[in-house]
A and B are shown apart, each in its own frame.
Chain A
Amino acid sequence: MSVIVIFMVLIAAIAFWWLSRQRLMAKPWLEVGIIGDIGGERPPTWPKAKIGLGVFLAVAGSLFALLVSAYSMRMAMADWRTLPVPVVLWLNTILLILASIALQTAVVAGRRDDFGGVRSTLLIACVSSLAFLAGQLLAWRQLVASGYFAADNPANAFFYLITAIHGLHVLGGLVALSRTTARMFDGPQTPLPHTIGELRLSVELCAIYWHFLLLVWLVLFSFLMHWASDFVSFCRAALS
């Protein structure tokens, strides 16, 4: 459970950083009047959708942290037998990095009003994400073909479970991404002025989500490759 505890400490740190800026030391019973005159809290500047996404990422992050916790806890038991990690996962990792870079490029292009650039990079992101999912399915087929079934062994079960849940999150993100892409292609060459802000925001939200998915995947991948466990045992050895 150490992974989830570390995750919670991280969340708590963010929460306390935020709370520390909320004048928790104020004495509200003494402060009558318009709060703007009292100073301190500024009106929030982030769009609500962005904050909503941030909260959702905390929830999804908690789910993944728990899965990794469970995985590493089980791994620590004596009878753990690993399964070979398919080579195609390396290619998939590159594809996901590519999607993330493409979306970041789209965000930058959107800020420069280069909407042709936004369209092409969004397409690249869609295609490479789909390719990532196809690659994950390929990895499953390879494992099944070489006789590693989910029901055989906890290591196999965890591998399928973790990749499946991550894949489902990518799939869910693809729904939002394809809607954004469709909106970009539907409209005129240069989007109407009143929609520009909303489109930029959609692209940015997709980019944030993809960076999150990439980060989660890198952590999961490192656990599946057992680098993380090597790292943990290295730390243990260093401490004792």
Chain B
Amino acid sequence: MVDVTHGVAAPVPAAEVGDVELYHPRSWVTKYVFSQDAKVIAIQYSLTALSIGLVALVLSWLMRMQLAFPGLLPFIDADRYYQFITMHGMIMVIYLLTALFLGGFGNYLIPLMLGARDMVFPYVNMLSYWVYLLAVLILVAGFFVPGGPTGAGWTLYPPQAILDHTPGHQGGIIVMLVSLMLFIVGFTMGGLNYVVTVLQGRTRGMTLMRMPLTVWGIFTATVMALLAFPALFAGSIMMLLDRLLGTSFFMPSIVSMGEQLKYGGGSPILFQHLFWFFGHPEVYIVALPAFGIVSDLISTHARKNIFGYRMMVWAIVAIGALSFVVWAHHMYVSGMNPAFGFFFATTTLIIAIPTAIKVYNWVLTLWRGDIHFTPPMLFALGFIVTFVNGGLTGLFLGNVVVDVPLSDTMFVVAHFHMVMGIAPIMVVFGAIYHWYPKLTGRMLDDALGKLHFWVTFVGAYAIFFPMHYLGLMGVPRRYYEMGETAFLPPSTHMLNEFMTIAALIVGAAQLAFMFNLFWSLRHGRPSGGNPWRATTLEWQTPQTPPTHGNWGKELPVVYRWAYDYSVPGAAEDFLPQNQPPMPRTP
């Protein structure tokens, strides 16, 4: 190791960033409700996202019940089933994962990991949460409008999304589009904060290449989200106008039930382009923060520096850039020019290269590491397995010739649940087990955490692994019931029942997690400031949980990268980022 400072490290003068003037809350309301403190906003974001996620979890139970035991729950009819599908997908992808990774983890970790006192625009940050909450409430209102929420599928493809006879065409689709637009507005406010804080809020010594990979992942994902969400925004406005004012952006001339509709001249494919121009980056908006967090979890809990840090950073940036030129691989069956299919298949497969680099680096970090099987580590390992699994089926689906027969089958459902459902949620859990002590000063219960992991991990496999086989046999997605078919043997039905039972068990296991969250708040083992003996700055705060302003009088100064674990010759097996270099022995 090369010491760059010569002699004993001299005390370093004031921070590189001007110390910001902090907003000081005066009352309980401004401290905990309309708070401008990124940490409170982060908790608000996380709790809201997890709560709405529970709704989506229950919806998935109801869908699974219908698939395995049709007719058992008499209130599920075909329309309801489509509404459940739509809301489940939309909530999980946007209102849970995007909001939790960027609004929740981003808000909490960016200022703390970079040694800042807060986000750069705290007021806008607060607005961001309240607009997000409004979007969630409007989304939930969809359940109560006449006709119920929209049942157009989470992709909301026109023309069917706004035609009569699609469930929720009366009010549900309007509510959904308005909610999405608000979400985007709220996210943009937050996203500006995350980006500018990373650009301007870093403490002295925190160069970009010393940032923990968590921040790299969240930063890149935010940049992508800022650029991709406008596509969904534009699509939503145009569809809303089609629905409300009768314009024809997406609506072609249609004869419905023998009646010529007033629409004419719109292009449904145009919506698909807009939607997937958002939709594909969205996959990586969810995945990149997960990549970053998992790198930090593995490094910390294997007591080893991350393997190939530079390559990890470059891979994150490369994936972010590439993900903008692959969107049409979701549209292979839309009748597009085969030459385009070839182009998009190629770009899609190229993304596998940086992604594989990341997987190799995680595995090589584990190699000969001092692996502690703590709940965060278990979830990180679970992530690697499920992500590789989902990534491999992605290679199948990225090829046009393989995708065409598999399109719209359960294989696709299994693929995206593995890769952007189970894998990121594993990271969410791992991250919660990892950072909960910082939030509360207490540890989550270890035994319950391990139980939670094993049931969730094995259960999720029990649900989604067989689903691939259903898809290969030709079971289509989005079918309310299969009925009697010649091409499906009775064993497919047994498999469906098995998957449903697994889904119920996995869902119930989350109760143990929630119990753990609340119980440990009071009764958990006190954690101290740095229970995992981690190097990054958020563990070096003077108080735990960190107080308003995060740091005491002086901002921390960063002397080293974020992964100094098991450094030869060091007294401890970790060197915090703000620990000055050892004086060189003469």
Q: Which residues of A contact B (CB under 8 A)?
A: 1, 4-5, 8, 11-12, 15, 19, 22-38, 40-41, 43-44, 46, 48, 51-52, 55-56, 58-60, 62-63, 66-67, 69-70, 73-74, 77, 79, 150-151, 153-154, 157-158, 161, 165
**Residue from A15, A58, A73 in contact with B267 in the complex, judged by beta carbons closer than 8 Å:** A73
Query: In the complex, are the beta carbons of A30 and B1 less than 8 A apart?
Result: yes
| Interface check B210, CB cutoff 8 A | yes
CA distance A55 to B200 in the complex (A): 13
- B561 proximity list for chain A (CB < 8 A): 28-29, 31
| Interface check B581, CB cutoff 8 A | yes
Query: In the complex, are the beta carbons of B207 and A161 less than 8 A apart?
Result: no
Query: In the complex, are the beta carbons of A33 and B559 less than 8 A apart?
Result: yes
> B519-559 vs A: 1/0 string, CB under 8 Å?
00000000000000000000000000000000000000111
CA distance A55 to B558 in the complex (A): 27
**Residue from B196, B262, B309 in contact with A48 in the complex, judged by beta carbons closer than 8 Å:** B196
Can you report 17 residue pairs joining A to B where beta carbons are below 8 Å apart? A8-B324, A24-B313, A26-B209, A28-B209, A28-B560, A30-B1, A31-B2, A33-B5, A35-B205, A37-B4, A41-B208, A44-B200, A51-B200, A66-B274, A73-B270, A74-B270, A157-B249
- A58 proximity list for chain B (CB < 8 A): 226-227
- A157 proximity list for chain B (CB < 8 A): 241, 247-249
Chain A binder among B228-236, B461-469, B477-485 = B228-236
Query: In the complex, are the beta carbons of A11 and B245 less than 8 A apart?
Result: no
| Interface check B396, CB cutoff 8 A | no
Query: In the complex, are the beta carbons of B557 and A62 less than 8 A apart?
Result: no
**Residue from B5, B9, B16 in contact with A43 in the complex, judged by beta carbons closer than 8 Å:** B16
| Interface check B342, CB cutoff 8 A | no
> B236-261 vs A: 1/0 string, CB under 8 Å?
01100100011111000000000000
Query: In the complex, are the beta carbons of B208 and A24 less than 8 A apart?
Result: yes
5 A-B pairs with least C-beta separation = A33-B4, A33-B5, A28-B561, A63-B230, A157-B247
| Interface check B101, CB cutoff 8 A | no
Q: How far is the CB of A198 from chain B (nearest CB, A)?
A: 13
What DSSP secondary structure best describes chain A's contact surface?
helix
- B352 proximity list for chain A (CB < 8 A): none
Query: In the complex, are the beta carbons of B241 and A59 less than 8 A apart?
Result: no
Query: In the complex, are the beta carbons of B207 and A41 less than 8 A apart?
Result: yes
The tally of residues in B whose CB lies under 8 Å from a CB in A reads 67
**CB contacts between A and B, total, < 8 Å:** 174
CA distance A158 to B267 in the complex (A): 13
CA distance A37 to B2 in the complex (A): 13
| Closest B residue to A165 using CB positions | B237
- B248 proximity list for chain A (CB < 8 A): 151, 153-154, 157
Instruction: Kindly name the residue among A4, A30, A40, A153 whose own CB sees the greatest number of chain B CB atoms within 10 A.
Output: A4
| Interface check B165, CB cutoff 8 A | no
- A79 proximity list for chain B (CB < 8 A): 265
- B36 proximity list for chain A (CB < 8 A): none
When A31-B4, A32-B3, A51-B199 are in contact, do A150 and B247 touch as well, CB less than 8 Å? yes
| Closest B residue to A12 using CB positions | B321
- A52 proximity list for chain B (CB < 8 A): 120-121, 192, 196
- B81 proximity list for chain A (CB < 8 A): none
| Interface check B325, CB cutoff 8 A | yes
Q: How far is the CB of A112 from chain B (nearest CB, A)?
A: 27
When A32-B3, A35-B207, A52-B192 are in contact, do A66 and B199 touch as well, CB less than 8 Å? no
Instruction: Kindly name the residue among B120, B234, B561 whose own CB sees the greatest number of chain A CB atoms within 10 A.
Output: B234
- A23 proximity list for chain B (CB < 8 A): 207-209
| Interface check B310, CB cutoff 8 A | yes
- A56 proximity list for chain B (CB < 8 A): 188, 192
- A12 proximity list for chain B (CB < 8 A): 321
When A40-B207, A62-B230 are in contact, do A29 and B309 touch as well, CB less than 8 Å? yes
Query: In the complex, are the beta carbons of A1 and B2 less than 8 A apart?
Result: no
